[in-house]
Chains A and B, each alone.
Chain A
Amino acid sequence: MTPAMSPQMIAQELSEMPPGSAVSLQMSVDNYLDVIRGTLDLFANKREMDTIYVTATISSEAIRRVLEALDISSSRVYFVDCISHIMMGASSAQQDEHTTLVESPTMLENLMLKVEYLIRLSQSKEKLVILDSINSLAIHNNNWILSEFLHILVSGLRSKEAYSVIFSVEEHTTPEISNMVNLVCDHSIHVGKDAGREG
């Protein structure tokens, strides 16, 4: 069994990709913190890149707390939060300069529009868009619409030379979801329990 990838290795793999690349990042639930450290801190923050973090799994507030606990700066992180609104007050997340709420994870077009808006707003030369996670979006959307969404989103980001990193959780991933993600991605990183590297 190969040991799980370290945050440094994740950042290193991402750094080897040219701008506009789409990367599938499959992890185990136990590796989430390493993935966050590797992508947000050691890759994006180190390169002074704005990150647009689309969250459909846990609220932006919760992720912000994780970043704080890990001592990772969130000054360049802009959230598109698709989950807080449907939690109906379960979160105190408010729209501000760094947080945009999407009413529901079923509103995939609105999600794309918010990403587009933040991309236009961003002043940084390089940009990273994280989709966390395809599994959570799959709870609310069928595979047809999700596949179409991924194709349009990733193609758009590619044309803007923004990096896309699509998170998936191995414990919840079906072959259909893997195929859908692999179809639009140039490279895949596996950070699971029995991880090696693919691509």
Chain B
Amino acid sequence: MVQRTGERERCVTGIEGLDTILYGGIPRANTVLLTGSCGTGKTSLALEFLIHGAMKGENSLFVSVTENSEKLLANIIPYKFFDRNLVKSGRLVFVDLPIMYERLGMVKPELSMEEIDLLVAAMGDLVDELGTKRLVVDSVTSVCYKLKTSEKIRDFILKLAKTLSDRDCTSILVGEVPAGSSAYSSFGVEEAISDGIILMANMERRGDLLRTLQVIKMRGTMHSRAKYVLDLTPMGVLLVPLLKGGSTV
């Protein structure tokens, strides 16, 4: 029997299959890169993580970078468990990052080191103010486009992860990679700094396109490294093991 030592407190995602893969959930205060190409279900999964948190009484924050949060809410899968009162009560909060940029006076296409510090501090303040325990940034890749260099990206993610971790906030940074890419991130920096990587992909098998999920790394817990097939349903994200059919590749 495997002895579990030094067990860390878990942030139960509420996505049953994922919690099983992670032996109980994401270790609390971890920063996880949820990466994949478009149409793989990253935003839906991240949102479900927040909704389950809010339903459990954990204040949850969605930081939208690319899509207006009103539009996002209108387009999400009509989850049967989603109660709009979670938004009305402030348990689940949506913030548009472009509005934050504007308020912080960050109008230039590229952020300076000082502005990175200012942005991270502003996010920390927001987390403090809202008592946030779960946070999603969708997508961190879009933020990285304003940082341009690897040094700045590294600096931003390191500082953001530390700020959130110090506040006991578990976070998911949504990353985008081009379709067919074997990399885990667009800039090659994000994955090295994150505590965990969850890779979502489209996998073609004999002409069928399957949505897959695989946990590549997760600090602080044992986890399955197998590939799973997922479906986005009104009952949430469902997962089953990918069938191998005797395949050796």
Contact = CB atoms under 8 A, between A and B. Distances in A.
B246 A113 contact: no
Interface string A154-195: 001000000000000000000000000000000000000000
A149 B208 contact: no
- Counting chain A CB atoms within 10 Å of each CB, which of B238, B241, B245 scores highest? B245
Contact of B231 (A114, A142, A145): A114
Interface residues of B, number: 18
B235 interface: yes
B229 interface: yes
17 contacts: A104-B208, A106-B206, A109-B210, A109-B229, A110-B229, A113-B231, A116-B240, A117-B233, A117-B238, A142-B245, A144-B245, A144-B246, A145-B245, A145-B246, A148-B243, A148-B245, A152-B241
B140 interface: no
B230 interface: yes
A107 interface: yes
10 nearest CB pairs, A to B: A145-B245, A144-B246, A109-B229, A113-B231, A144-B245, A112-B240, A117-B233, A120-B235, A148-B243, A107-B208
Interface in B209-249: 210, 229-231, 233, 235, 238-246
A110 B245 contact: no
Nearest to A103: B208
Q: Is the interface of A mostly helix, strand, loop or mixed?
A: helix
Nearest to A116: B238
Contacts of A106: 205-206, 208
A110 B231 contact: yes
A145 B243 contact: yes
Contacts of B244: 145, 148
B41 to A, nearest CB: 12
A128 interface: no
A144 B246 CA distance: 6
B228 to A, nearest CB: 9
Contacts of A148: 243-246
Interface in A81-112: 103-104, 106-110, 112
A107 B244 CA distance: 12
Given A110-B229, A116-B238, A117-B235, A149 B210 contact: no
B236 to A, nearest CB: 9
Given A109-B241, A113-B229, A113-B238, 18 more contacts: A103-B208, A104-B208, A107-B210, A109-B210, A109-B240, A110-B231, A112-B240, A113-B233, A113-B239, A117-B233, A120-B235, A121-B235, A141-B245, A142-B245, A148-B243, A148-B244, A148-B245, A148-B246
Interface residues on A, range: 20 to 34
A156 B20 CA distance: 14
A142 B208 CA distance: 15
A52 to B, nearest CB: 14
Nearest to B237: A113
Contacts of A104: 208
Contacts of B231: 110, 113-114, 117
A63 to B, nearest CB: 23
B243 A113 contact: no
A133 to B, nearest CB: 19
B243 A108 contact: yes
A77 B174 CA distance: 39
Contacts of B235: 117, 120-121
Contacts of B229: 109-110, 113
Contacts of A141: 245
A121 B234 CA distance: 9
